[in-house]
Amino acid sequence: MTELQFADDILARIRAKGGAFDERGYLFVLASIEFVQSRLAVRRHISGPELAWACRDLARERFGLLARPVLAHWGLTRTEDFGRIVYTLVEIGLLVTLPGDSEEDFRDVFAFETAFDESYAWEGVRRVGA
C-alpha cells in the first residue's frame, strides 16, 4: 500500500466515523507520533502529554509563526483536541492504548496562547522600544 493509499484509507475511516476536525488534523497527529518516535532511542508507547508537546513542536517546526492559526483552521485550539483525535484513531483501529491511558491525559497540557505565541524564539529581532 502506498503512502497516498494509506492516507486515503485513514481519511475514509475518519469520514465514516464523522470526525470532528479537519482531516489534516488527524494526519498531523499521526505525523506527530512519528515525529516524537523518530527522536527516541527505542520506539515505545507515547503518553498523552508527550504527544501534545510533540504536536506543539512539529507545528512550530512546520508552520513557524502560523502554527496556531493553522491548527485553529483545522479546529484544534487546545490540547484536549489532540486527545479527541487520538481516541477517534483508536476507535477506527489505527492506534491502540495501554491500560490506564485516558483522553483526560491530554487535558490542559499547555495553553495554546503560551505555547505558540508567547514562547516563540525571536532570535535577532529587537522589539520596538527595547
pLDDT at 125: 54
Domain ranges of the chain: 23-117
Identity (one letter) of the amino acid at 96? V
Angle between the N-to-C axes of helices 79-91 and 48-63, in degrees from 0 to 180, rounded to the nearest 10: 110
Enumerate the H helices of the chain as residue ranges: 3-17, 23-37, 48-63, 67-73, 79-91, 112
pLDDT at 17: 79
Phi, then psi, of 55 in degrees rounded to 5: -60, -45
Angle at the Cα of 96 (from 90 to 97), degrees rounded to 5? 105
List of residues 6+ apart from 54 with CB closer than 8 A? 32, 33, 35, 36, 46
For residue 23, the Cα-to-chain-centroid distance in whole angstroms is: 12
The pTM assigned to this predicted structure is 0.84
Angle at the Cα of 112 (from 107 to 116), degrees rounded to 5? 140
Q: Residue 106 burial by CB count (10 A; 0-12/13-18/19+): exposed, middle or buried?
A: buried
Residue-level pLDDT, tens digit, the chain, 130 residues: 677 677 788 788 888 877 789 989 999 999 999 999 999 999 999 999 999 999 999 999 999 989 999 999 999 999 999 999 999 999 988 899 999 999 999 999 999 998 888 655 555 555 565 5
The residue whose grid cell reads 512550530 is 60
Separation of alpha carbons 71 and 10, rounded Å? 19
Residue 105, Cβ neighbours under 10 Å: how many? 20
